Amino acid sequence: MSPRNADEVKAFLSSRRERVTPDEAGLPAYGSRRRVKGLRREEVAMLAGVSVDYYVRLERGNLSGASDSVLDALATALRLNEAEREHLFDLARAAGPARASARRAPASVPWSVRSLLDGMTAVPAWVRNDRHDIVAANLLGRALYSPVFDGSDVRPVNTTRFTFLDPAAREFWRDYDQIAHDGVAMLQMEAGRHPHDKALTALVGELSMRSETFRQYWATRDVSLHRSGLKRLRHPVVGDLDLTYESLPLASSPGLTLNVYVAPAGSPTFDALAMLGSWAATQEADFLELDAPVLGVSTDA
């Protein structure tokens, strides 16, 4: 077990414990003068059915050897949601003997995935790796995220780097605070899954050094899954867009995820996407020239 993993376990478990009140856990509060925020360690131990000494060892970072049943009981006691429960199990796996990652993104985006993107002409779509690098996009996806692409000379562009380091992000993301929170929470999940990913560690280090906002979100130890939902953008060419997204892991390319954006037919956003497509066609040559370095980019974990 590495010191870094122990620190992550300690920070995560203590933050989740502090979030649960005795009332929520069905326990008597024994008066209003409690010295601790949330539950006491002995209360968590009782709820999880383990000894206090054992829980203290767990919260100090020693998850190595904890059984699935203990982790399940702990997740229930701390009222963890699906993402938090998954993160706890990831941290426990990382605390065990070092092993090769089970999920490694391919060295480049497969031609079949690029062909799939090119065939999706009516909807914006792009492919990212687990570090939030956009490693491939169709023409409409490139146009939709033009502020992300145009704001950086670094390829591949990274949506979370854009969120925290580019002033244009607060205009582009209409729900900036939610986007910022979710971006960090997703990276926190990945850090638990792939604690030895040097590129991810470097990204987190860069953002921590350069953004106080990122540091504040990271310190919450919140985690989040990213599957589907509403994304509200303010595009510099076509204005406000309310898009439903689906985030689809590519089974043939572990570590890569396809994001697709749609809008109901006849809606203002549907019409705006048609306008965006017309604009994108006029910019296609410039897009290809600017994004040439993305081709063949390494996405290894």
- Which pLDDT tens digit goes with each residue over 106-117? 667 888 888 999
Claim to verify: residue 137 and residue 190 sit in the same structural domain: yes
Q: How many CA atoms are closer than 13 Å to the CA of 274, on its beta-carbon side? A: 7
Burial of 131: CB neighbours in 10 Å, binned 0-12, 13-18, 19+: buried
CB neighbour burial string for 251-289, b if at least 16 within 10 angstroms, e if fewer? eebebbbbbbbbbeeeeebeebbeebbeebeeeeeebee
Residue 22 lies in a domain: yes
CATH assignment of the domain containing 163: 3.30.450.180
Where among 95, 121, 147 does a domain terminate? 95
Residues 211 and 263 in one domain: yes
Look at residues 69, 95, 121 and tell me which one is the last residue of a structural domain.
95
Whether residues 175 and 135 fall in one domain: yes
Q: What range defines the domain where residue 18 resides? A: 3-95
| pLDDT of the residue at 99 | 52
Q: Are 105 and 253 spatial neighbours (Cβ–Cβ below 8 Å)?
A: yes
Give the pLDDT confidence of 122-177 residue by residue, as tens digits.
Answer: 999 999 999 999 999 999 999 999 999 998 888 899 999 999 999 999 999 999 99
Strand partners, 133: 158
Domain stop point among 95, 119, 138: 95
Q: How many residues does the chain have?
A: 301
Looking at the fold, whether 91 and 130 belong to one and the same domain comes out as no
18 and 153 in one domain?
no
Q: What is the DSSP letter of 30?
A: -
Domain assignment present for 234:
yes
Supply the DSSP string of 147-196, one letter for each residue: HHHHT-SSSS-BHHHHHHH-TTHHHHBTTHHHHHHHHHHHHHHHHHH-TT
Q: Which residue has the higher pLDDT, 160 or 30?
A: 160
What gap in Å lies between CA 191 and CA 175, rounded to an integer? 24
Mean confidence (pLDDT) of the chain:
88
205 and 279 assigned to the same domain: yes
What pTM value is reported for the model? 0.87
Token pair for residue 52?
């206090």
Q: Within this chain, do residues 219 and 133 fall inside the same structural domain, yes or no?
A: yes
Same domain, 227 and 78: no
pLDDT single digits (tens) 45-91: 999 999 999 999 999 988 888 999 999 999 999 999 999 999 999 99
Residue 201 inside a domain? The answer is yes
Could you give the number of structural domains in the chain?
Answer: 2
Q: Which helix (H) or strand (E) holds 239?
A: strand 239-249
Which residues fall within 8 angstroms of residue 197, CB to CB, at 6 or more apart? 101, 130, 131, 190, 191, 301
Q: Are residues 44 and 119 in the same domain?
A: no
Do 171 and 201 reside in the same domain of the chain?
A: yes
In a shared domain, residues 253 and 123: yes
